[in-house]
Structure 1
């Protein structure tokens, strides 16, 4: 009996390394709550990774920045101490400037074109992301255009004059609003709602879904559907971790990433339409696009050369813009 037990134990020890070699844990961090399209995308990725690796890889999801801020986690991905993350493109740019091409104002003006452009950009972009930040994008998700909420109707560029508008603290957003004739107010996110409530600012820009989740309908009356910038966010994996996986696991992750992002885009579109209906029920007026949006677009697009040095250099910016424009055909 003892001999059989010893033999069984020895067999277990011999088999353990092989079994362990097939098990991969992928920790995925993001900054949103569990009702957000970001989290729903993460859950779909989790399901697909399990399916496509036949259970060899497991994705553990950490929502609401529980592993650290988006920038902190992106730095951890470079070292391979955390394996995956979904984050706002603007928070990746400090580590990977080339990702900034996704934020060029009016680079794309419809959701359909944006999807085509992002899918066409991902491979050349990854050639740069892996070098700049040690990360690889498995897919590029979006949560809609950043629309303008205000406390008065804005249907033309002239209506914007004199308003105090909060923007995220990045140079592209700041300079774009300056080109439209106002001095925007960069402000930390936590300060935005009380600033709107106290009329320190007159408006802000974010997707429709944010207007619902942040209850902006309580302190704002109008929405203008400008198309200057889409909320984009890559589903990233640490390149250091990725290169340690065998070929079959790598291919499974690439496939799962693409399909999860496609799912997330669909969910985002559905939630955007739901948000619009709910905002109307809460007495907000949705004005659609500005009557003179071509003026907004022309003023913003004229700024592109000013941003080239910030988004990976003129050569890359020119290449990326050509790729984007080719998707308009």
Structure 2
């Protein structure tokens, strides 16, 4: 057995022992998220839990970020069946499912909430293409939803790719995000989230990207001076179940999970409205000298043009499967935006 396999076995064994404290029951489902309970994924998971428990005898136990390790550990546990449900963004699953990185491409998703909601509810790429890609990795894709516009935090303001030259920006462990920030002029630095705050404090990195609510709730603003909106992306996440677990459920339980998924998705789309402005107000109150910068259309065009080759990099990484996903996503977006 390789060192990597031994390491994975050790991690899974440790987690299995930790979870053994929870009473073993087919009706006690475990659900891990990448955020805390009061952040978007936690709000979604709590609504999902409420619907399940209100309509059955089943229980759902939610494990917030950090309780079961980093994102890579949690995904291993979900694939191994230790966890029944997991919420994880394409920024981390992109290494496992390269096609999922289509949601990381800059200047693709619309910013208008009504168009964005329509896309996530009705797109064929999510409802028809992605389920098989996730199934191939032992996962049942239940839902994908947007968490909020992505902002970049830095120590100094910038308005062009040239001004990001040499700036180390933390990114999730996605090859496509690395390519994106290279095109932006920065030095992309993949790091687990647990290391980011300290890396910003020690100036090992000079910036990172996240939705505004996450910048506020994790107090990332305390170790940064500028928050910039270049309009490049919407943070997306995916809710998954272990496929062997899901396939082994009764039709009644599968329908229950679909009901909880649909209600939680509707709920979170409404919940996120106004969340960004609320988060800005909280940051302003805590740090009045924080600079908020929103690039105008001419400035955004510099980044849009610089990152145009990223689409070609995506196709090169994913081949025919990725091209089919990209083509379908483009068609779905045309329908969502009415263009």
State TM-score, norm by structure 2. Answer: 0.80
Deviation at 1:158, TM superposition (A): 4.2
CA contact (8 A) 1:29 1:73 kept: yes
1:114 corresponds, among 105, 116, 124, to 116
Return the alpha-carbon distance in structure 1 between the equivalents of residues 75 and 198 of structure 2.
29
Return the alpha-carbon distance in structure 1 between the equivalents of residues 195 and 84 of structure 2.
31
1:320 corresponds, among 319, 322, 329, to 329
Return closer, same or farther for 1:171/1:246 CA change in 2, 3 Å cut-off: same
2:248 corresponds, among 244, 266, 289, to 244
SS in 2 for 1:249: helix
> Which deviates further from its counterpart, 282-291 or 254-263?
282-291
Return closer, same or farther for 1:118/1:307 CA change in 2, 3 Å cut-off: same
Return closer, same or farther for 1:81/1:152 CA change in 2, 3 Å cut-off: closer
SS in 1 for 2:337: coil
> 1:224 aligns to what?
228
1:185 aligns with 2:186: no
SS in 2 for 1:292: helix
SS in 2 for 1:153: coil
1:46 aligns with 2:55: no
CA contact (8 A) 1:196 1:203 kept: yes
Return the alpha-carbon distance in structure 1 between the equivalents of residues 112 and 258 of structure 2.
23
CA contact (8 A) 1:148 1:203 kept: yes
CA contact (8 A) 1:30 1:65 kept: no
What are the within-5 Å matches in structure 2 for residues 85-124 of structure 1?
85-112=86-113, 113-119=115-121, 120=123, 121-124=125-128
Return closer, same or farther for 1:202/1:60 CA change in 2, 3 Å cut-off: closer
Return closer, same or farther for 1:147/1:212 CA change in 2, 3 Å cut-off: same
Deviation at 1:293, TM superposition (A): 0.7
Give the CA RMSD over aligned residues.
2.5
Aligned residues: 306
CA contact (8 A) 1:143 1:269 kept: no
CA contact (8 A) 1:98 1:128 kept: no
Return closer, same or farther for 1:95/1:181 CA change in 2, 3 Å cut-off: closer
Return the alpha-carbon distance in structure 1 between the equivalents of residues 202 and 81 of structure 2.
44
CA contact (8 A) 1:98 1:125 kept: no
- Structure 2: stretches of 5+ with no match in the other structure: 1-24
> 2:76 aligns to what?
75
Return the alpha-carbon distance in structure 2 between the equivalents of residues 235 and 214 of structure 1.
22
CA contact (8 A) 1:95 1:132 kept: no
> 1:30 aligns to what?
33
Deviation at 1:298, TM superposition (A): 2.8
> 1:297 aligns to what?
304
CA contact (8 A) 2:150 2:232 kept: yes
Report the structure number with the largest CA radius of gyration: 1
Deviation at 1:177, TM superposition (A): 1.8
Return the alpha-carbon distance in structure 2 between the equivalents of residues 77 and 217 of structure 1.
32
SS in 2 for 1:64: coil
> 1:257 aligns to what?
261
> Which deviates further from its counterpart, 237-246 or 185-194?
185-194
CA contact (8 A) 1:99 1:125 kept: no
CA contact (8 A) 1:24 1:57 kept: yes
> Which deviates further from its counterpart, 237-246 or 189-198?
189-198
- Structure 1: stretches of 5+ with no match in the other structure: 1-21
Return closer, same or farther for 1:201/1:131 CA change in 2, 3 Å cut-off: closer
CA contact (8 A) 2:139 2:242 kept: yes
SS in 2 for 1:146: strand
Deviation at 1:139, TM superposition (A): 1.5
CA contact (8 A) 1:145 1:226 kept: no
> Which deviates further from its counterpart, 153-162 or 210-219?
153-162
